[in-house]
Structure 1
């Protein structure tokens, strides 16, 4: 049976845009990128490492997949995250990509029906538009929200627009020394399509 888990880095006001770098995602004139760096610590790295240790493939939207290529595909830094990112099977959901040959072990999917047809565990890091689509289709099973203690007042939010009524159960919560809350949730309703 397939299980889809998403990890979303966000601010208190729900912004998921531009966590890593000032130039990461400037759509809509967003100028506050790079907000997540100062909140990195050992506890956050350890918790993210637990997610990487789980079996299964990764699932990406096109923009995040292309951005991650620049950060991970050619890195040779000895970082265990780098080794994982390059070795794992990566599914990229896109209607506009011609192929997924730019990053090893990548497979192109054309839509949610292709995702629904997959077996096994899938994890997503980022890819907010894809997460919203999966949630709307009843395909999102688990969500880990990595909530940073700041508000930006502007930027793309995780759930913009209509979202289906869905109940989630808190399955775990860790607070880092820098005030980041890592909250894990599992969907309890409605039933999968």
Structure 2
């Protein structure tokens, strides 16, 4: 049975997914709200995120997110040590147009044929997770090269910032995989898979 590709993203209510965990994570465009998700302690988020980390057997990352993770997790010592150990132990696949140095243990660069690479990862792994990596995740979603979109939506409106679904499209459908899960701090988990094309009709 082929494995599944999960995309894990934190988003504001108006769709901004930029720099949720740290002020310095992604300041592109003079983004003013870096670290917007970090102060929110939501037990439902923590439990579901940790469950996903324990199940995953590979990471699939964009180059920028890889560089951020590689500079942080291998040296990490603290209450999230289980995450650091898991991320370091499992294979990490990096999408990059260049030929970057990949110093983190078990890191591999993807080839140019993304669809073929994703198919090979599904054969090789049980559960591959894309974490962050907004631009890369956007391309996967638009091409239907994913199985599960785990979208945590927070009750904030942030205005300008990078989005998984940009205002200029394209249009496509998604399929809800399970009822939404609400956390006590107001975060909402929406789990989607690829869906049918968007169609239109008149009400009545």
Q: Kindly tell me: are residues 71 and 98 of structure 1, through their superposed partners in 2, closer, same or farther at Cα, counting changes over 3 Å?
A: closer
Report deviation, 1:140: 1.4
Runs of 4+ more than 4 Å apart = none
Q: Kindly tell me: are residues 97 and 122 of structure 1, through their superposed partners in 2, closer, same or farther at Cα, counting changes over 3 Å?
A: same
- Which one has a larger percent strand, Structure 1 or Structure 2? 1
Q: What is the CA deviation profile of residues 141-189 of structure 1, one whole-angstrom value per residue up to 9, with x for unaligned ones?
A: 1101111110011111111132352331232422111111112222344
Larger Rg: 2
* Preserved CA contact (<8 Å) 2:144 2:194: no
Q: 1:139 aligned to 2:142? A: no
Distance in 1 (alpha carbons) for counterparts of 2:120 and 2:44: 35
How do residues 118-129 of structure 1 correspond to structure 2 at under 5 angstroms?
Answer: 118=121, 119=123, 120=125, 121-129=127-135
Point out where structure 2 has 5 or more consecutive residues left out of the alignment: 198-204
* Structure 2 residue aligned with 1:116: 119
* Structure 2 residue aligned with 1:87: 89
TM-score, scaled relative to structure 2? 0.85
Aligned length in residues: 189
Aligned-residue CA RMSD (Å): 1.8
Point out where structure 1 has 5 or more consecutive residues left out of the alignment: none
